[in-house]
Amino acid sequence: MMVQRLSISALTGTIILAGAVFSLATGGRADVGAAEIWQALTGPGQGVALTILQDIRLPRSLAAGLLGMTLGVSGLILQTITLNPLASPAILGINQGAAVGMIGALIWPGLLAPEWLSIAAALVAGFVTFAISGGLAGRIDPMRLVLGGVAVGTFAYAAVRFTFTLDDVLAQQVLRWTVGDIADLRWSAVVRLAAIGLPALALSFALAHRLNLMALGPVGSQSLGHDPRLTLILGLILAAVLCGVSVSVAGPIAFIGLIAPHIARRLIGGDHRGLMPTTALCGAGVMLLADGFSKWLLAPLEAPVGVISALIGAPWFLWLTLRAKELH
């Protein structure tokens, strides 16, 4: 068992390290790669490479890692409380609901801080989806859950697209943000993301025991004196907070919340005490790799990281859908 845990730790550490190096060594100036950054870190003087690392690449890579953690854990919570391996913030309409909140913050900048308005809208979207599915009454219908997510997501997406008919500058800003672009993220975005995301992650880890009971199903968890509806509500709130703060910083990035939990389960199994941190690390690794690819594929141009994550996640989602019976 100890050897297995060490092997898993080494594998996840390697994924994160590879993603971090790839993310930090790419982007912007082609003459500042891994070798130049290493020389700047170990050699004398500041130099252009060190300035680029400190002011541009490091905050962007840290933001990418934090986004992978928050989105991955959000997806894991949703998959557990719905007992549905295909659940994720994007599929259940929570991503899109958070996007509506962010758009509201752009249109009415003095109304509320963008991250809090995005979280509030994500909560509303999540509760509407779960109400449609019957989850708030303790009986989730899988078909109604998916249909509710599609309905909420479609409505929210239509509201976001409505802003394209408004001011041209605002429309361009919204269009760039909705594809999941993190190119302009700096230290202020990292601070906002960490200030809300890290406490929410800690609370999610504390929910691990209840999620283990929830995974037994309503009958099994109730027989052990556990109220599944309370766990569902707590899980939904935490998932919405994690998703909402991520969307407020980087836009509605899809599929990380779907991919990371499945990778983690293959590595460590279904015990949420280990699954939670492993999912966070896997999400960070995948997001860092996606960030690196977004800068490398079309260099010197950049593709939005949300597009890269969709290119990775869409085939994965199709494969999971085809194998859904095996996953239940």
Residue-by-residue DSSP string for 218-278? HHHHHHTT--HHHHHHHHHHHHHHHHHHHHHHH----SHHHHHHHHHHHHH-S-HHHHHHH
Identify whether the C-beta of residue 267 lies closer than 8 Å to the C-beta of residue 12.
yes
Is the separation of the CB atoms in 262 and 76 below 8 Å? Answer: no
What is the structure's pLDDT at 65?
93
Domain boundaries, the chain: 2-327
Residue 144: how many CA atoms within 13 Å on its side-chain side? 12
* DSSP H or E segment with residue 135: none
Q: Are 102 and 75 in contact (CB under 8 A)?
A: no
**What is the third-level CATH fold of 2-327?**
ABC transporter involved in vitamin B12 uptake, BtuC (1.10.3470)
Is the bond preceding residue 261 a cis peptide, omega within 30 degrees?
no
Q: Please give the Cα distance from 305 to 269 (Å, whole number).
A: 29
Phi/psi of residue 165, each to 5°? Answer: -90, -5
- What pLDDT score was predicted for residue 327? 45
Q: Quote the CA–CA distance of 109 and 107 in Å, as a whole number.
A: 6
Token pair belonging to 101 = 């909140």
State how far the alpha carbon of 232 is from the alpha carbons of 78, 163, 214, 277, in Å. Answer: 9, 33, 8, 20
pLDDT of residue 328: 46
- The pLDDT value given to residue 171: 77
Element (H, E) at 40: helix 34-42
Residue type, 20: A
Compute CA 121 distance to the chain's CA centroid, rounded to the nearest angstrom. Answer: 16
Q: One-letter amino acid identity for 37? A: I
Q: In tens digits, what is the pLDDT along the chain, a chain of 328 residues? A: 555 666 666 777 777 888 888 888 777 666 666 677 777 667 665 577 777 888 888 899 999 999 999 999 999 999 998 888 888 898 889 999 998 988 888 888 777 888 999 999 999 999 999 888 877 666 777 788 888 888 998 998 888 888 877 777 777 777 777 777 888 888 999 999 999 999 999 999 999 988 888 877 666 666 666 777 888 889 999 999 999 999 999 888 888 988 899 888 888 888 898 899 999 999 999 999 888 888 888 777 788 888 888 888 778 777 766 765 544 4
With beta carbons less than 8 A apart as the criterion, state whether 248 and 102 touch: yes
Do residues 26 and 60 lie in contact, with contact meaning Cβ atoms separated by under 8 Å?
no
Residue 258 region, left (φ>0) first, then alpha (ψ -120 to 50), else beta?
alpha
CB-CB neighbours of 200 under 10 Å: 23
CA neighbours closer than 13 Å in the CB half-sphere of residue 173:
12
pTM passes above 0.85: yes
